[in-house]
Homo-oligomer: A and B are copies of this chain.
Amino acid sequence: MSVPTTNTQRPATGSSWPSAAAAEVEILAILAEITDAHAARDAARLVAPYTADAVRYSLAPPLQQRPGTMVGDIEGVRRWLDTFDGPITIEYREPVVMVGGDVAFVHALTRMVATPAGSPDPFSLWFRTTLGLRRAEGTWSIAHEHSSTPFLMDGSFLAATDLEP
């Protein structure tokens, strides 16, 4: 992990700088690791950044993922990976990171491109990602994840899966 070391001038505000700036770099590295782990289809790397008690609100039901639900544990993530052929591309668009001490949150519009198992063509889906993070013993982990699309309020109740930023 690379942490900026050259620009040590303290800005006018932000009492925890440069530690907050370093934390932001570390948190963006977690997003990069999640992207790489999807590309590599590596379930162990996909769950590694999360706390053991992370609360996940995922794209698919249930309301809240737990061990035994779709992506609530490493076995669930493996089964989820098996529903796709080939690499899964994740792109976080201009993530916004806010850090206070050992707590942070991030939000970003997110694009997923993947090919359902047995399908000839990939799909592209834009959704919204929010992460809540905690730092323990110097390491940031994801304590909360919220991923979603909006849904149409026209009476169809269809997920809005064709939106773009």
Contacts and interface: CB of A to CB of B under 8 A. Distances in A.
Interface residues of A, number: 44
A74 interface: no
Interface stretch (A4-12, A32-40, A151-159): A151-159
Q: How many copies does the complex hold?
A: 2
Interface string A142-154: 0110101111110
A20 B58 CA distance: 28
A150 B59 contact: yes
A57 B103 contact: no
24 contacts: A55-B96, A55-B107, A57-B107, A59-B150, A59-B153, A60-B152, A61-B152, A63-B128, A63-B164, A63-B165, A64-B128, A99-B103, A100-B101, A100-B102, A101-B101, A101-B103, A103-B104, A107-B132, A107-B146, A130-B132, A130-B144, A148-B150, A151-B159, A152-B159
